[in-house]
Structure 1
């Protein structure tokens, strides 16, 4: 169920700590299954990935989706990767909120010089080039215990013993954070809700574009299925209407209505307020 996010410089000992935590949980919590998600599992060629921002983003997305897929009520997921971007750690935090599960962050704290020494001791296929290593160190965003997504935070120095029991208490004895509206899935109120919303909003856009061909600013447009009128205060482009439609659909999915007949009026009201 819980998620453990490791982070640190390249060659800071993250994989070592992941394996230590896995062994500790297996020895003391025999009913727990452990999943270690790592970029090593995907045969990632590190230097090529971190030299290409697009590929790096794809790898992060793959790690996130794998961790999300494995999260459940019983198992522990350990994410062994650099996780050096605070925005990505925030995304992982949102995943745990949506899954109603606790999480923690383990920061493998080490000086860049010592991490560089460890990197040079690696086998050549696993070694970061100095240019890539320096770039990752420069871009590293250290976890901050005052932020929700980096709490609880365990800072582990190179020569420290891993505080395995404290980490397990944070994972197993702490209530998960309550889901907020942005991370909680809402049940649709009607089996044909999405279909009706798509149809009604598309018909509204078609009616507005047709009316603009003959109408003038100040006219009021009749929309199929709506009792309210669309106020044509200016010329509106199709791309602008599509953008407003996407925003309305996103909002309405989070706040579904029982009566789909209300959707036409709701969309007209939304357009009148947004385009005024």
Structure 2
């Protein structure tokens, strides 16, 4: 349903605000006038995961703690849950990571920032921590709660988590479609067969060119338009190497094409025919 990220300095009242927010949201969900879907409100924090405060004194330990927080957030994200993430969340990249995860689950998001600064033993240089917050204030919608306020802006937050826009998953974070295990073998076999078939067709037609149908197998018969000249084997082999190199990357690293990618011999032969037509000299 929604992810609410609380971001603030140590000992600035984040947990109290998270509890206020949970109580207010639960009261609205239980109100007789509420007619929306059945929802629950959950809080994830250092306390709920038994993460000690001193982990923030050590960069490596803090990284492990953030990983535990993020894993817990991912597990509890759901369409029937308003999830409150109560931690310092001062690193912009970490907030963005949770933001992308929420978009993957098609959840609404909002950030509540604590506006009160406290000094003392923070476990990190205070100036560095302050800069991290200032440089990472691009969260939207963003609600800043001054320390003097008695409560959170529940009306605005309620509207954001129940009526706000649900943004589609970020293209850069979507799972990359994987090619079948025999795709590389099929790629090599189809392109090699195409080169051999073109050379045989050219020999039989004496280089007349024009549209022809090549027969690679009983079911694979790509069409290609050849130029009215003799093509050399080295010329076709060069185009084959270029085509294979490009498609090997797509097979091993994944492709950004939408939907399932067809790595069948017929599909590869058709693509190679188009590639040859577009790259052959007249």
RMSD: 3.7
Give the direction of change, closer, same or farther, for the CA distance of 1:61–1:198 in structure 2 (3 Å limit).
farther
Number of paired residues? 221
- In the alignment, structure 1 segments of 5+ residues that lack a partner are 118-128, 205-218, 232-240, 270-276
Give the direction of change, closer, same or farther, for the CA distance of 1:194–1:230 in structure 2 (3 Å limit).
same
Q: How far apart in 2 are the matches of 1:43 and 1:246?
A: 43
Farther off after superposition, 131-140 or 64-73? 131-140
Q: TM-score, normalised by structure 2?
A: 0.64
Where does residue 213 of structure 1 map in the other structure? none
Where does residue 98 of structure 1 map in the other structure? 104
Q: How far apart in 1 are the matches of 2:11 and 2:140?
A: 23
Whether the aligned pair in 2 keeps the contact of 1:196 and 1:260 (CA below 8 Å) is no
Give the direction of change, closer, same or farther, for the CA distance of 1:93–1:263 in structure 2 (3 Å limit).
farther
Give the direction of change, closer, same or farther, for the CA distance of 1:257–1:250 in structure 2 (3 Å limit).
closer
Where does residue 14 of structure 1 map in the other structure? 14
Q: How far apart in 2 are the matches of 1:139 and 1:2?
A: 28
- In the alignment, structure 2 segments of 5+ residues that lack a partner are 31-37, 190-233, 276-282
Whether the aligned pair in 1 keeps the contact of 2:46 and 2:86 (CA below 8 Å) is yes
Q: How far apart in 2 are the matches of 1:256 and 1:67?
A: 29
Where does residue 181 of structure 1 map in the other structure? 171
Deviations 1:56-85 (A, max 9, x none): 222212212211221111111111111101
Give the direction of change, closer, same or farther, for the CA distance of 1:136–1:59 in structure 2 (3 Å limit).
farther
Q: How far apart in 2 are the matches of 1:76 and 1:142?
A: 27
Compare the two structures and name the one with the higher helix fraction.
Answer: 1
Question: Secondary structure in 2 aligned to 1:251?
Answer: coil
C-alpha displacement of 1:143: 6.8
Where does residue 38 of structure 1 map in the other structure? 45
Q: How far apart in 1 are the matches of 2:251 and 2:54?
A: 39
Q: TM-score, normalised by structure 1?
A: 0.66
